[in-house]
Each structure stands twice: as structure tokens, then as C-alpha cells.
Structure 1
Amino acid sequence: MNNNIIQVYEDEIHSLEEEINNLKEEYECNQHESMAYSDKEIINAMKSFKRKSQEEPKQYGSSPELKTQLDLLESDLSFIMKLTGIWFTKYSRKPVEKSESKTIYKYRLSGNCQTVPFQLEFQLLEENQASKNVSAVVSDLSIIIESEDHSGLTKLVSRVEESGNLLLFFKSLSCFSEWYKHRKRTFAHFKRKYPDIVALPEGSSGDSMALRSPEHSGFELMIIWKIHVDKEGIVTPVLDLLNKIPMPEASNFAQEAPHCFRSLLHVLGIEASIEALIKSLCTGK
């Protein structure tokens, strides 16, 4: 249902509650006078409003104009979710406080960004100014990322919860999720292409990939691929190469391999650098 219509109902309910309170006050003050309102009259007023609220949605629901607006809103939302990769699966809004100058709502959201699930809970304060400009302030923000694989987001979540900057959170989450999906896809690709050389100790969702020499037992390199999120929310892939080489004759390679790999990353990029490293391991060069 259109948010504007829901707002109309909420306003009417609030108005009715105030009217009932006024009626009760008059009843208590004038209970010995002939003009006092009875409990029955108050209950009838409530029933009357309930019937009205049940009838009005039917009228709105049959409106072709409202259906067209709803279809446009759903289309816009679908486009935004496809563009950002952020899909909301649950949503709720509950009024906490309302007056002429401000309105406070409590929101609960849950969804997925690519393959990263999240939950949000926060309060939104809307201050209605005389100029009709509306400013919104987020408070009591709580964020849950439902996976231990996304430790790179931990510090970002803490900062966003303190600042209430939801735009920063969704922007960084979208970028992080893209890199996370790319890393998972890249690891799975090399595992399929070189099953005898590539091992994934933590699975394709982990941040490490082991390269084992087919000719020398114990000859192993470990690619570490972290996804770093700085305090401004900028997401950067960070790759490094560790070695596990017990053979004395391989000491020169052990010393040079990490530096050479980092140099290749700047020249060739991630996938081409891993490919070159695997081929060098296969040929023993």
C-alpha cells in the first residue's frame, strides 16, 4: 500500500485517540452532569471509526490511479535493487512518538547484498520545520552481518552504528559484496582449472588459496586475499603471497616470489598474476 495512504490512516488514528482522550476527560469532569458522555457512546465512536477504516482501503484498492502509482513504485524499487545488488526481504515501520513538530519511527530491515545477508534496526526522527523542509536523523542504529566470513566489515559496522550514516553503510556494503563475489568466483575458477595444484583450505568463500607443486612434496605457496574497508568506507582488495618451502635449493625462489607476485599485480591484475604464478609453479621456473 502507498506510504501516503498509510500515513493518512495513522494520522486519523492519532486524531481519534486524542478525541477519545478528550471525551474521557469530559466524562470524568462532568460525570454528574446531564451532558456527560457514557462509556457506550465512546465505544460506539471507536466502532464507527473501525468500520470507516475497513471501508476506505476497498475504495483505494479499486482506484486505477492508485494501482498505476503502486506499479511505478514497485518498478522503480526493482530497478534500484538490481542496480545496487541490495534486496530487501523484510520491512517494518512502527511509530514511536508523534507531535506537531516531530515524528519518530522505528524501522526494521533485513535483506541481502549479493550474497551478504544483513539486518538493520534504527529509529528515524523527522522534524517538520516551518519552511516545510524535512530533516531526518537516524539514531539507535543496530547492524547485524550474518556471517563470520565478512570480518572486513566489522570496523565499518561499528563506525556506522556510531554515526548513523546509512548511506555510507550501503555504499560500502555494495562494493564489498562485489569484491567478495569476485574473489569467490576467481578461487572457484582456478580450483576447477588446476585441481591438482590449487587447494582451498577454507572453501571458495575463504580468503586463502594454496598452490602445491605437483613435482615436490611440501612445496607450497599461499595466496592471501583480504578485502579491506577503511574508515571512510573505501573498499580495497589486498593480496599477498606467503611461502612454505622446506627445500634448501628453493631458498632464492622463496625470497623473491612474494615481491615478484606483488609486482605482477600492478602490471597484470589479479587473475593474470595468479595464472602466471601457477604456470611458473608447474614448469618449476
Structure 2
Amino acid sequence: MSNENTEEAAALQAQIEHLQAEVSALRRQQKDDQKDVTFHFRGQMQNAMLSLCGQRQGDEKVLSMLMEEVEELEEDLKLQTQMNGISLTGCTTKTLQSSGRKLVQQLCVSGHCSELLFQVEFQLSEEASGCVRTISELNVVIDAGEMQNFSSFLSGVEESRDLLLFFRTLRSFSDRCDDRRRTFQHFQEKYPAVVSLPAGCRSEVMHLSHPELPGCVLLVHWSVHVSREGGVSPKVELLTKIPERALQLFPSQAVGGAAEAFQSLLRILGAEAALEAVIMAVSLS
């Protein structure tokens, strides 16, 4: 055999070995993927997935089993959404490590609570027994408009990797914001001549003014604070915006005492009743 033929045969042999190595790698990857698919499932879903992966043969009810399981999962998800107010809109999973004893995945979950958008990324490690699950590398992103309220809390959550605390606080914060929105919207519809919402009903500020007193405005600032520990507390303040000329006609003490008087009303009547008392006073002035 000539040198040229020998070199060609060696090159072909190298290509064959390379292809064999690729086939072996793909087979291993297929086995790992099958393990990933069936790792979390039990009962009917696991049996169905094993059948689809070729590990069980002759099961003619695979499709019906899958459809039944999917319908049950959809109903469960719908019920969970109704109970906790959190709707999931997307979830991606990437396997970082898979073996017979441990599975490590990178998850990215996105959704919304009322109108507040969020995205959560984390690594989930699970032992084959399914009894031990740990979360690491937690990163949370929420609607940029609310970051100033959440910055300290999010730092604490990412350090503690407490997903339950995050979702519980998110729901509580969203509920308080919805309370504010409903209250502002209610008063704007009930007293359109006095109440205005320049930044919309989801903003923190409501304007109160009398049509015959241009330039004299009372500002209701309703903020919702979140502590590092996850405590959610609303804060309602009354601020005055009075022109200099008007201040000369009224005692400064009376104008300056409006905020303190409102806080007294707030403690006695609550937010909605206190606001309505102020609105009625402005409308009758």
C-alpha cells in the first residue's frame, strides 16, 4: 500500500473514531435528558414520561395519561393563582448538573402580582430522593417603578434566599398598592371637581383643589414602604401648596397645622374616611 493510501486510511479511521465518540456522547446526553424529564415526576406522569422515553413499552394510554396529568396541573395552577394572587407567565429551566444522586438546575420564573411585574432567577439543587432541595444564586428583578420601595428588602432576600418571604411580601405590597389605587379612583369619580390624579390612579399622589381657589392645592402623598425584614406599611401624608399671596391672608399656624390635624383624623377614622373628610372640607370652602 502506498504512503498516500496509508495516510488516507488513517484519516478515515480518525474520522470514524471521532464520529463514534460523538455518537457515544449523544447517547449519554439522551440518557441524561431522560433522567431530567422524569426526575421530578411521580405516579402516572412518571410512567407516561418513561414510556415516551422508550424505557417502558406497550403502553397505549400514554397520551391520555399525559393529558389527564396536564389538566390536573392546570387546575392546580389556577387554584394557586386565585389563592395567592401571583400569576406566572414564564418559566425556563437549564440543567447544570445531572447524575444519579443529584440534579442542579438554573430556573428563571417571571410573572406578575396584580400589575407588579417580577422575574426570579435561582439555582435549585435536589437529591435523587427528592427529600432535600436547596436554593442558591438567587437574583430578583421587579418593576423598575417600585425599586425604590424594594431595594433594601431585595438585598436581604437575595442574601437569605428566602423565596417564600419574597412572594409573601410581594403579595402584601401589591394588596396595599391596590387599596390605594381603589381609594384614589373612588374619590376621583365621586368628587371630580375637587380630586385630580395627574400621574394616574396608580401613582402615590392625589391633588385636592377648589375651582374658585386657583393655585391652592392639597397634596395627599400615599406611599407603601417595605422593610428589609419584609414588613409592609402604608404612610399617608397631607401636604400643602399655597401661593405666597394666599399665605398673607391666612394665619401660618392654621395652614401649617393642616398636616397634623390630618394625622389625627387618620388615627381616628382610618385612611378612606379621613381623606373624605378633607375632600368635603375643600369642596365646601
Task: Establish whether TM, by shorter chain, passes 0.5.
Answer: yes
Partner secondary structure for residue 152 of structure 1? helix
Q: Give 5+ residue unaligned stretches, structure 1.
A: 1-30
Partner of 2:266: 265
Partner of 2:114: 114
- For 2:102 and 2:74, the matched residues in 1 are separated by 28
Residues 144-184 of structure 1: per-residue CA shift (max 9 Å, x gap): 11331453122222221222111110000001111111211
- For 1:191 and 1:87, the matched residues in 2 are separated by 29
Counterpart contact for 2:156–2:229, Cα < 8 Å: no
Residues 203-256 of structure 1: per-residue CA shift (max 9 Å, x gap): 212111111123322211111101011121011111111111232315343122
- For 1:241 and 1:54, the matched residues in 2 are separated by 69
Pick from 135, 151, 155 the counterpart of residue 154 of structure 1: 151
Counterpart contact for 1:149–1:205, Cα < 8 Å: no
1:165 aligns with 2:162: yes
Q: How does 1:215-226 map to 2 (within 5 A)?
A: 215-226=212-223
Partner of 1:72: 72
TM-score, normalising length: structure 2 = 0.75
Pick from 197, 203, 221 the counterpart of residue 206 of structure 1: 203
- For 2:272 and 2:164, the matched residues in 1 are separated by 31
Partner of 1:227: 224
Number of residue equivalences: 244
- For 1:163 and 1:238, the matched residues in 2 are separated by 27
Partner of 2:277: 276
Partner of 2:256: 255
Identity %: 35
- For 1:39 and 1:228, the matched residues in 2 are separated by 62
Counterpart contact for 1:115–1:181, Cα < 8 Å: no
Partner secondary structure for residue 209 of structure 1? strand
Deviates more, 1:148-157 or 1:46-55: 46-55
Partner secondary structure for residue 53 of structure 2? helix
2:264 alignment partner AA = S
Counterpart contact for 1:240–1:258, Cα < 8 Å: yes
Change (3 A) 1:235 1:60: farther
Pick from 173, 178, 198 the counterpart of residue 181 of structure 1: 178
- For 2:80 and 2:54, the matched residues in 1 are separated by 33
Partner secondary structure for residue 202 of structure 1? coil
2:252 alignment partner AA = S
| RMSD between superposed Cα atoms in Å | 3.2
Q: Give 5+ residue unaligned stretches, structure 2.
A: 1-12, 35-50
Counterpart contact for 1:124–1:139, Cα < 8 Å: yes
- For 2:22 and 2:227, the matched residues in 1 are separated by 63
1:254 alignment partner AA = V
Partner secondary structure for residue 272 of structure 1? helix
- For 1:282 and 1:40, the matched residues in 2 are separated by 83
- For 2:133 and 2:21, the matched residues in 1 are separated by 42
TM-score, normalising length: structure 1 = 0.75
Partner of 1:103: 103
2:183 alignment partner AA = T
- For 2:196 and 2:64, the matched residues in 1 are separated by 60
| Residue 46 of structure 1, CA deviation | 4.2
| Residue 273 of structure 1, CA deviation | 0.8
Counterpart contact for 2:90–2:111, Cα < 8 Å: yes
Counterpart contact for 2:210–2:282, Cα < 8 Å: yes
Partner secondary structure for residue 62 of structure 1? helix
